[in-house]
Amino acid sequence: MMQLPHDPVVAIVGATGAVGREMLAILEERAFPARSLRLFASPRSAGMRIPFRGGSVVVESLDSGAAIEGIHLALFSAGKGISKEWGPRFREAGTLVVDNSSAFRADPACPLVVPEVNPHALEAVRSPAIIANPNCSTIIALVAVTPLHRALGVERMVAATYQAASGAGAAAMAELESQARAFAAGTPLDTTIFGRQYLFNVFSHNSAVGDDGSNEEERKLLTETRRMWESDAVRVAATCVRVPTLRAHAEAIHLEFARATSEGEIRALLAAAPGVRVVDDRAANRFPEPLDAAGGDDVLVGRIRMDQSVPGARGAALFVCGDQIRKGAALNAIQIAERFLPASSPTRASAPATGAAHAALTAR
């Protein structure tokens, strides 16, 4: 596995977007050891100054004349088209690229990684490469479900996702907020992004629907789960919708296991899982909520119960929430990058050790 320098030169591509700005904040929060930072965005944002570590960084234009040599790590969050064009250019210039778009998720040459799920996929990276962040709904689901899969063997997962505006970008978040103001003022609602009222509404995820009736978001949950779990046998069904929350996704997940289990065993597995926080207070009716997940790093898991529709005590149901901008995007990318820091780096040393868990998973 390749290593970054102790103090790499880091770039963020798409630095002025919601995820790019979150990446910047997380680099600062986690004291990522960057020697210097370069920020790239579209030409219209060039010259903007963005605060970082008590100073500021000037945004550069990502255009045909952009100088990208000497960058060790690039975090991309500028959309599929930019990633397709510029990701290979950065890699060829000697840069390790972690991409948050869908551009490389299906490319077998590009590892698809969630550090709590399949960090072993990074071990084969020996030289500058492109590593793909999975889809946000997949990340949030698998952080919660993978510990159960390792111990119990998930044979089937059925998920209904309730996805926030942030998944469609900063403009979608702004539109939802503007609709709330317009509704309160009794003025017409702006529907530019989704072509419909978002406030007080729920609708099918705004991705293309295929001939089989599934949208792209639903297909990603299947294909990405199979790829990261290294199994084509697991059955996955999903229904993905948009709900009028700002930045945290929620998912209702039903699981069917290979062997019998108990609620107590499931709770113990989740309580010990990295990146998971159990929120399950039946007496107070307190369970994961998007507002509680927003701004946090953990995936919240609650409504933990046996699924009585699955015979032989082999089924369970969960409700999970996770911040789409953080763990669903920016944080996951930076956690991947931390894996390439030298072992002596304080940031690298704090990463959870999951190699033994992978061994248990692949040995089944």
Tell me the C-alpha to C-alpha distance, in Å, between residue 342 and each of 128, 238, 256, 351. 15, 39, 40, 12
Query: Could you tell me the CA-to-CA distances from 274 to 8, 211, 255 in Å, in that order?
Result: 26, 38, 20
Give the relative orientation of helices 263-271 and 136-152 as an angle to the nearest 10 degrees.
120
Of the candidates 110, 120, 136, 240, the residue annotated as catalytic is 136
Question: Of the listed 110, 249, 321, 358, which one is catalytic?
Answer: 249
Residue entry with tokens 């304080």: 346
Q: Is 249 a catalytic residue?
A: yes
Strands, E, within the chain: which ranges? Answer: 9-13, 36-41, 49-52, 55-61, 73-76, 96-99, 130-132, 154-163, 203-204, 235-242, 248-257, 276-278, 299-306, 315-323
Q: Write the DSSP assignment of 101-130 as a string of letters.
A: SSTTTT-TTS-B--TTT-GGGGTT--SS-E
Q: Determine whether 136 is an active site residue.
A: yes
Which of 239, 179, 159 lies closest to 207 in space, CA to CA?
Answer: 239
Structure tokens at 23: 């990446």
Q: Residues with catalytic annotation? A: 136, 249
